[in-house]
Amino acid sequence: MHKRILIVEDEASIRDMVAFALRKAGMDAIHAADARAAQLAIAEQVPDLILLDWMLPGTSGLDLARRLRKEELSREVPIIMLTARGEEMDRVNGLEAGVDDYVVKPFSTRELVARIKAVLRRSQGDDGSGMVELGGLRIDGPAHRVFAGEDPVTIGPTEYRLLYFFMTHPERVYSRAQLLDHVWGGSVYVEERTVDVHIRRLRKTLEPWKLDDMVQTVRGAGYRFSASV
């Protein structure tokens, strides 16, 4: 089934260029020129990913991202921001608004398609079904839920992506830089120490089921996820 990508961009030439590249890559493209049109499109059918221009007429892309993250229909839909604003503070503001990745204009459509595929893999899983089970933990990718045994686990979105990556790549050691690249994406501005914060949060999430030891620190190297504790 083709992935459905919503392009929210007021410049028709950019919309058409991106839509052509998406269709060539086997994806379906839906157009919206402003925030209102985007919300109507989402209400009609929730996309798999949103490409969102920062500078929209009326409501800015940043404000729309904040709004989408609060709404039930769109809060789990990954967002890639298209922007000419490459400054660090702009990237930070976007991430705090809930943006998953950034592509700075001008960009190549080949790079954009690669970023889209990477974000979709992070958010929906690599194996199509998104079902992963290991060491008493189970991830239901389509439902975006985690279970410890039969108990549902309340988990944040970043910890979810981190856990999914670990469970699909067990028994291997990853440095902080590698985890940033695989889980956050290489273009996203996140300091390496941020990984430690989310590792602690993930362990705290798993602690009630005594599964926190599965997230192992390998001194001087990074982190490993192992069912052999």
* pLDDT tens-place string over residues 195-207: 888 899 899 999 9
Residue 221 or 128, more confident: 221
Q: Which residue has the tokens 């809060």?
A: 75
Per residue in 154-179, pLDDT tens? 887 888 989 999 998 888 899 998 89
Residue 101 or 133, more confident: 133
Tell me which residue of 194, 187, 188, 139 sits closest to 166, measured CA to CA.
139
- Kindly report the number of other CB atoms within 10 A of residue 14's CB atom: 17
Residue 146: predicted pLDDT: 93
- Mean pLDDT confidence for 1-28: 93
Domain extents for the chain?
3-124, 131-225
**Tell me, which fold does domain 3-124 have in CATH?**
Rossmann fold (3.40.50)
- Band (pLDDT 50/70/90 cuts) for residue 106 is confident
Residue 124: predicted pLDDT: 57
Residue 128: predicted pLDDT: 40
- Mean pLDDT confidence for 8-14: 94
CB 49 within 8 A of CB 79: yes
pLDDT of 15 > 90? The answer is yes
Residue 87: predicted pLDDT: 64
Residue 229: predicted pLDDT: 65
Per residue in 121-148, pLDDT tens? 766 554 445 688 888 999 998 888 899 9
Count CA within 13 A, CB hemisphere, residue 34: 4
Kindly report the average pLDDT of the chain as a whole number: 86
The region, left, alpha or beta by phi > 0 then psi within -120 to 50, assigned to residue 171 is left
- Mean pLDDT confidence for 1-9: 91
CATH dotted code for 131-225: 1.10.10.10
CB 83 within 8 A of CB 53: yes
